[in-house]
Amino acid sequence: MTSNPRRTFILDFDGESPLRLDCELPAMARSPLDILPAVFALADAIHTRSAAALGRMGRTVSCGPGCPACCNQLVPVSAWEALHLAAVIRSMEPPRRHRVVRRFARGVERLNDAGLLAALERGFRRHTLEPRVLAGLQRAYWNLRIPCPFLEANACSIHPHRPLACRAYMVTSAPARCAALYGAEQSHEIVLHAADPASTLAAFSGVGITRTRVLPLLLSLSAAPSLRPEPAPLPGDRMFARFLDLMAASFVRRV
C-alpha cells in the first residue's frame, strides 16, 4: 500500500520563531475529514510550543493523565469532528462500541431530564458564538457533572482522536482548582495559544470559509447522520494550505 506523501509547512508567528510541521496528507482530499490527522498534528504542535514557552518562564502545565476534571465540561466540536467521532465509534469492536453508545444515550437523557437539551440545541444552532449565551450553557452543563462518553479509568479512551478543544485546553493553576471551574472562587489559569485550529476548522469548507457549525460533543453521535458534507476535492496539501491561510487570520499574540 502506498503511503500518503509527506509535506513540510513553516508557520511564521509574529515576533516568535517559526514552527515547522511535517505531516502526511492525502494526494486528493474530498473534505476536511481527510486532512484531520494533519490538523490534529498541528494542534498538538501548538500545544507543545505553548508548554515550552511557559517552561522558559518558569511556569508548568498542570494537565495530565489521571486528572479528568475538564472531561466534565461542555466540549464544543466542529461538524467535521462530529463526523470523525461517529466514524471512530463505528470502528470499535461491538462490546466497546455498545458501552460508548450507551454513555452517549445516558448523557443525552440527563440533559433532557434537566431541561437543558432543547436549550443546547437551540443555543448552538443560533447563538454559538455569542459569549453570554455560551457561558450560561457551559455553566449549566458543568453543574450536571456528565462525564465525557469516552472517559474510562479517568483517562481519554480515544486520545489520538480527541477533539481540538480538548487538545487546546491547558491550565497552569493547581489541578484542584479545576474542580470549581464555574464556582464563585474560580481562579484557574487557562493558557491561550498563538493560534486556534478549532475555530478555524468550524468555519472551513475545504476550499474556504463557510457558516460556522459547532455542537456539543455529547450531541455529536445523534447529529452525525444529518451532517452531510458536500465534496470539495482538492489535493491534500492545497486543502491544508488553505486551512493554514484561514487560521493565520486569527493568530493572536500570546502574553
Residue 254: band (very low, low, confident or very high) from pLDDT cuts 50, 70, 90: very low
pLDDT digits (tens, 9 = 90+) for 78-101: 999 999 999 999 999 999 999 999
DSSP 192-239: PPS--HHHHHHTB-SSSB----EEEGGGHHHHGGG--PPP--B-HHHH
Per-residue pLDDT at 251 exceeds 70:
no
Note the pLDDT of residue 6. 85
Which range has the worst mean pLDDT, 66-70, 145-149, 163-167, 197-201?
66-70
Q: In a 3-state reduction of DSSP, which class is residue 151?
A: strand
Note the pLDDT of residue 188. 65
The set of residues, in sequence order, having a beta carbon less than 8 Å from that of 34 and lying 6+ positions away, is 26, 236, 239
Q: Where are the domains of the chain?
A: 6-248
Contact 215, 82 (CB under 8 A): yes
**What's the pTM value of the predicted model, to 2 decimals?**
0.89
Average pLDDT over residues 217-235: 90
Contact 26, 36 (CB under 8 A): no
Q: In a 3-state reduction of DSSP, which class is residue 59?
A: coil
pLDDT digits (tens, 9 = 90+) for 176-187: 777 777 765 556
Note the pLDDT of residue 13. 73
